[in-house]
A and B are shown apart, each in its own frame.
Chain A
């Protein structure tokens, strides 16, 4: 059962995660005059030239595409901050630094659509790539520490896209361990296959291993 291919309902796809990220609020500096927008997802504006205003990312990107605004990159998306984050990320092999939950998607969208609004874009971009790399390496090594005794995993500061990537591995692994470790399942099997001696005591099986 554990190795069975997809017994699950489809989870979030990458575009769906991006969809969620597009609701994050960013600041834009419009170059047009436009009345306030009363939308289902909230009220935004009014828009006045050179006056910064907060809007969801999708709205910012849509206006940017038409050349109606400049997007002000969020504070965390700067060389200074990202350098610090990367350093800290490298120094603490078991912890993830605090970054916005959607940092991967937000930075990607801004790199794609607002490259001229981000100072030092090449530097920023490669820092983000490095941070992603370091964090993902941590996730991978973290996966190795999972054992039959793991019944809860704490992933403080793991971002949405990272969650989405590790989800299938992590869930399957935990499930498989849980299943084979669970006495309710193990016992009836043991009584059926009498030829295989049953490990009588598997020790305390619920041991929380927070990370």
Chain B
């Protein structure tokens, strides 16, 4: 999490008398990286920052759910057998934080589904949804179709009644909102990705060094995000 620290050595005056030990939390961050909370946090950030819906982290969500449930039970036990309030409240906070992450992750996805339901249900983005999300998406599409049909489309003249097209003469589905993959995102590479080509033409190359922060077009780094080689921030 911490940017590569260069000039942290202020051991001159020794105000606190700390030994040269690194207090930047860097080493700890790399250990913590492997916990499910850390993974969930990354998934949440990426999902929030990416314009399109990403692959549902089924295994991770499952594990997070189990851990949350387990801790809920533990906390209940603690309350029953009168464990110290401090300990109970600390565990409760840990629980709340994990719950927040999980809920927010699921919610961001639902927002995307609501926004792009027609697009998602007509492309292979569909395969990125969980079973429950697919159900939700289908119900959403049905409700929206019905609503548009009843309120507007049925009263329009022939040729303008499609949900997907402006008029019968449109060649493409030009009334389907699509995520803007052209948008720019902030990203941080995890390891050195190396020279990276920003577009198909290949006349623009960025050298992605570890931990550098870049603003790039989502489209060009899409593959890196999906492959987990770069994190959105």
Chain A residues packing against B (C-beta within 8 Å): 7-12, 16, 19-20, 22-27, 32, 34-35, 37, 39-42, 54, 58-59, 62-63, 66, 68, 72-76, 78-81, 84-85, 88, 97-102, 119-120, 151-160, 163, 167, 170-171, 174-175, 178-179, 204, 206-208, 210
A24, B24: Cα distance in complex, Å? 9
Chain A neighbourhood of B6, CB < 8 A = 98
A7, B38: Cα distance in complex, Å? 30
User: Which residues, 194 to 217 on B, are CB-close (under 8 Å) to A?
Assistant: 198-199, 201, 203-206, 212-217
A23 touches B41 (CB 8 A): yes
A12 touches B48 (CB 8 A): yes
User: Which residues, 17 to 53 on B, are CB-close (under 8 Å) to A?
Assistant: 18, 22-25, 28-29, 32, 35-38, 41, 45, 48-49, 51
B182 touches A175 (CB 8 A): yes
Closest 5 CB pairs of A and B: A81-B10, A25-B25, A80-B10, A75-B23, A25-B28
A153 touches B203 (CB 8 A): no
A62, B90: Cα distance in complex, Å? 7
A55, B208: Cα distance in complex, Å? 32
Q: Which of A35, A39, A98 contacts B4 (CB 8 A)?
A: A98
A151 touches B87 (CB 8 A): no
B71 touches A158 (CB 8 A): no
Nearest-neighbour CB distance to chain B for A92, whole angstroms, equals 12
Chain A neighbourhood of B22, CB < 8 A = 75
Chain B residues packing against A (C-beta within 8 Å): 1-8, 10, 12-13, 15-16, 18, 22-25, 28-29, 32, 35-38, 41, 45, 48-49, 51, 64, 67-68, 71, 84, 86-87, 89-91, 93-95, 97-98, 100, 104, 108, 111-112, 115, 180, 182-186, 198-199, 201, 203-206, 212-217, 233
With A78-B16, A119-B16, A178-B217 as given contacts, are A41 and B98 in contact (CB-CB < 8 Å)? yes
Chain A neighbourhood of B198, CB < 8 A = 151-152, 206, 208
With A11-B49, A80-B15, A208-B206 as given contacts, are A101 and B1 in contact (CB-CB < 8 Å)? yes
Nearest-neighbour CB distance to chain B for A182, whole angstroms, equals 8
16 A-B residue pairings within 8 Å (CB atoms): A8-B51, A9-B108, A20-B41, A25-B28, A25-B32, A40-B35, A40-B95, A73-B16, A76-B10, A78-B16, A101-B2, A119-B16, A153-B214, A154-B214, A171-B183, A208-B206
A88 touches B203 (CB 8 A): no
A88, B8: Cα distance in complex, Å? 13
With A84-B7, A99-B3, A167-B186 as given contacts, are A78 and B15 in contact (CB-CB < 8 Å)? yes
Nearest A residue (CB) for B2: A100
Nearest B residue (CB) for A179: B182
A205, B204: Cα distance in complex, Å? 10
B10 touches A78 (CB 8 A): yes
Q: Is the interface of A mostly helix, strand, loop or mixed?
A: loop
B7 touches A206 (CB 8 A): no
Nearest A residue (CB) for B94: A39
Chain B neighbourhood of A78, CB < 8 A = 10, 15-16
Nearest B residue (CB) for A81: B10
Chain A neighbourhood of B48, CB < 8 A = 9, 11-12
A163 touches B184 (CB 8 A): no
A25, B29: Cα distance in complex, Å? 8
A152 touches B215 (CB 8 A): yes
A174 touches B184 (CB 8 A): yes
Nearest-neighbour CB distance to chain A for B199, whole angstroms, equals 7
Q: Which of B13, B49, B204 contacts A151 (CB 8 A)?
A: B204
A76, B35: Cα distance in complex, Å? 26
A163, B204: Cα distance in complex, Å? 24
Nearest-neighbour CB distance to chain B for A8, whole angstroms, equals 8
